[in-house]
Amino acid sequence: MTAIDVGSAGIAGATAEFRTCGYTGLKVDLAAQRLIKANAVAAVIFLLLGGLMGLLVALTRWPAVHLLPAEWFYLILTGHGANVLLFWIIFFEMAVLYFASAILLNCRLATPKLAWLGFALMVIGAVLANIAVLQGDSTVMFTSYVPMKAAPHFYLALILFAVGALIAVGVFFGTLVVARAERTYEGSIPLVTFGALTAAIIAVFTIASGAIILIPTFFWSIGLISDIDPLMYKVIWWGMGHSSQQINVSAHVAIWYAIAALVLGAKPLSEKVSRTAFLMYILFLQLASAHHLLAEPGMSAEWKIVNTSYMMYLAVMGSMIHGMTVPGSIEAAQRRNGFDKGVFEWLRKAPWSNPAFSGMFLSLVMFGFIGGISGVVLGTEQLNVLMHNTLYVPGHFHGTVVAGTTLAFMAITYLVLPLIFQREIVWPKLAQWQPYLFGIGAAGISLLMMGAGTLGVARRHWDLTLTDAAHAFEYPPAAFLMMGLNGLFALLASAGGVIYILVVVATVLKGKRLDTADVQPLTFPLHQGAKTVSEYGSEGTVKLPGTIVLVGIFFAAFVLYYFVNWKYLSDLWLFR
């Protein structure tokens, strides 16, 4: 690799090929475009695989169906976690990073060859991990808690994948430096790029934690290390496991802003507030792995309280700010676009038939109401004992990662297809329904798993009836009902997922090419009647009653649900 060499870097700069985007007039680096395509395609392939595995899991937990035998259930559940939570999401995030750097900054991508090396490592890691899981001796679940042991190549696969991702993050940072040096933009980086930068910084911390714990675990699995303390493993593993979720949040919040801008011409109400909220993620959430250890022996109550909340829940505050500024900026834009009647005309007359917008808005609402509120409750020191390791936990994170992140990623795909793949979306009617189907399905499985978890149903558990158990125990009938409904909603979400994949694949392969001269240009913002909002700061003069109502409902739901859980807790046996 001679890319570090000054001469060759100069040549790379000189030889980077660009096309001019027909819609935005932006310069698009072809190397970046190819990498975005490759990462997006890889992401969708692993979504297909992981999503199918998820459906099998849901069908097994549906008492009336109980599809897979126990051994396969646990194996498939391990694969489901790795494929959707790691591979789908991180491949897609790499595409987001390249988009937010090279494309939005009008710049060439730094060291495309190195980026391809990273991509290759990620693909090798992801494939190897799937091989390890399917071979059957690495059924250790996504968390792979020691002293349960997987095959050495399972850990090796995750390490390779992480190294690949780290390289891609490095290319992203490099591109920011190049853009600054070559003055491809004026002033500060756009808010969306800032959000992506947040995600990238957290990714470095995440991958470092992963390396610190997975490399010794790999040595342990091949016999070079005799013993790994299970509690120590967990503390560090969650430095990766939780922070990686924070990458997702930063990335999908950046996407919310991007879609609001591209579809409605929305501007952040103030750059200062939105950027500070991103900064809070970097400062206060990446160490909050403590909330995965609240039911654990060995840690003091002080350690748990301080680390889950950082004294005042500053990272939660970051998300609450975005949860207000995103709809706020949409309301401001819509009111300026003329939809100014009453409290909610701006929302009623939003482009609900544009899947990019509907997906984004559903993602925003469900991430807040389902994933966000349940996350804070689950992460409260005492309340955690109520639902630790019950199905409530997967219920919560399907609210964040499926209804939140995955839906947001699907939504932006409907803009990436014309802009980067330069193809017109085939079957627009089908695409129009996709976010609703997937969103309702995702909301259903999240809420029903949370419900079943509240009734005590264990997570990662094959047999709701406990037939083979030494001491019989019966869960309440409502739990059976919920797990049946959960299966139905999983079918709905799967239908949404299948439509998404069909539309993407068909569009990439067969969609009408948009890079020829005779195409109708798309004008941004896309929404009819939308025009770019004029001045910064002038948003201060716009009244936003709709957003006030929305955040009011959110806050009321939050407070109510929080205290309902304290009431549940106070009814338990006494323990201290």
Partner 1 sequence: MAVTPPDQKIWWNEPIHRLELGWIVIAFLWGLFMFFFMIAWHFIGDQNLSTETYRIQPSAFEAKVEAFAEQYQVGEESGVPVVRPPAGEDVFMLARLWEWWPVLELKKDQSYRIHLSSLDWQHGFSLQPTGINIQVHPGYEHVITLTPTEAGEFGVICNEFCGIGHHQMTGRIRVVE
Considering only residues 445 through 484, tell me which ones interact with partner 1, judged by CB under 8 A: 454-456, 458-463, 466, 468-473, 475-476
Binding-residue pattern over the window 2 to 41 for partner 1, x denoting contact by CB under 8 A: ----------------------------------------
226 belongs to the binding site for partner 1 (CB under 8 A): no
Residue closer to partner 1, measured from CB, 274 or 434? 274
Q: Which of the ranges 263-271, 438-446, 490-498, 509-517 carries the binding residues for partner 1, by CB under 8 A?
A: 263-271
Give the residue among 283, 307, 279, 277 at the shortest CA–CA distance from 293. 307
Q: Judge contact between 414 and 420, C-beta under 8 A.
A: no
458 phi, psi to nearest 5 deg: -75, 150
Q: Which of the ranges 39-47, 396-404, 426-434, 562-570 carries the binding residues for partner 1, by CB under 8 A?
A: 562-570
Of 514-533, which residues contact partner 1 (CB under 8 A)?
A: 525, 532-533
Binding residue for partner 1 (CB under 8 A) from 47, 97, 261, 493? 261
* H-assigned helices in 401-537: 407-416, 428-454, 477-510
Q: Which of the ranges 57-65, 272-280, 340-348, 443-451 carries the binding residues for partner 1, by CB under 8 A?
A: 272-280
How far, in Å, CA of 221 to CA of 140, rounded?
A: 13
Residue closer to partner 1, measured from CB, 294 or 492? 294
Binding residue for partner 1 (CB under 8 A) from 62, 74, 278, 397? 74
Residue closer to partner 1, measured from CB, 181 or 559? 559
Give the residue among 479, 290, 321, 317 at the shortest CA–CA distance from 395. 479
Residue closer to partner 1, measured from CB, 166 or 266? 266
The torsion region of residue 529 among left (phi > 0), alpha (psi -120 to 50) and beta comes to left
CB of 486 to partner 1, least distance (A): 17
Q: Which of the ranges 4-12, 151-159, 438-446, 552-560 carries the binding residues for partner 1, by CB under 8 A?
A: 552-560
Q: Which of the ranges 9-17, 289-297, 444-452, 511-519 carries the binding residues for partner 1, by CB under 8 A?
A: 289-297
564 belongs to the binding site for partner 1 (CB under 8 A): no
The structure tokens listed for 169 are 């993050």
CB of 56 to partner 1, least distance (A): 17
Q: Judge contact between 324 and 402, C-beta under 8 A.
A: no
Residue closer to partner 1, measured from CB, 394 or 497? 394
Residue closer to partner 1, measured from CB, 150 or 492? 150
Q: Judge contact between 446 and 482, C-beta under 8 A.
A: no
Sign of CA dihedral 69, 74, 77, 82: negative
Of 304-323, which residues contact partner 1 (CB under 8 A)?
A: 305, 309, 311-314, 316-317, 320-321
CA distances from 339 to 257, 356, 454, 522 (A): 20, 20, 42, 22
Q: Which of the ranges 27-35, 125-133, 165-173, 227-235 carries the binding residues for partner 1, by CB under 8 A?
A: 227-235
Q: How many other C-beta atoms are found inside a 10 Å radius of the C-beta of residue 417?
A: 23
229 belongs to the binding site for partner 1 (CB under 8 A): yes
CB of 392 to partner 1, least distance (A): 9
Q: Is 185 helix (H, G, I), strand (E, B) or coil?
A: coil
Q: Judge contact between 142 and 82, C-beta under 8 A.
A: yes
Binding-residue pattern over the window 40 to 59 for partner 1, x denoting contact by CB under 8 A: --------------------
491 belongs to the binding site for partner 1 (CB under 8 A): no
How far, in Å, CA of 515 to CA of 507, rounded?
A: 14
Give the bridge partners for 20, in sequence order. Answer: 27
How far, in Å, CA of 6 to CA of 288, rounded?
A: 41
DSSP state letter for 20: E
43 phi, psi to nearest 5 deg: -55, -50
280 belongs to the binding site for partner 1 (CB under 8 A): no
Q: Is 19 helix (H, G, I), strand (E, B) or coil?
A: strand
CB of 301 to partner 1, least distance (A): 6
Binding-residue pattern over the window 192 to 221 for partner 1, x denoting contact by CB under 8 A: x-----------------------------
104 belongs to the binding site for partner 1 (CB under 8 A): yes
Q: Is 361 helix (H, G, I), strand (E, B) or coil?
A: helix
Binding residue for partner 1 (CB under 8 A) from 226, 300, 516, 520? 300
390 belongs to the binding site for partner 1 (CB under 8 A): yes
How far, in Å, CA of 7 to CA of 319, rounded?
A: 44
387 belongs to the binding site for partner 1 (CB under 8 A): yes
How far, in Å, CA of 214 to CA of 166, rounded?
A: 15
Binding residue for partner 1 (CB under 8 A) from 265, 395, 399, 496? 265
Residue closer to partner 1, measured from CB, 142 or 427? 142
Binding-residue pattern over the window 150 to 189 for partner 1, x denoting contact by CB under 8 A: -----------------------------------xxxxx
70 belongs to the binding site for partner 1 (CB under 8 A): yes
Longest dimension (CA), the chain: 74
The torsion region of residue 292 among left (phi > 0), alpha (psi -120 to 50) and beta comes to alpha
Q: Which of the ranges 163-171, 296-304, 351-359, 361-369 carries the binding residues for partner 1, by CB under 8 A?
A: 296-304
Q: How many other C-beta atoms are found inside a 10 Å radius of the C-beta of residue 219?
A: 14
Q: Which residues contact 280 (CB under 8 A, 6 or more apart)?
A: 314, 315, 317, 318, 321
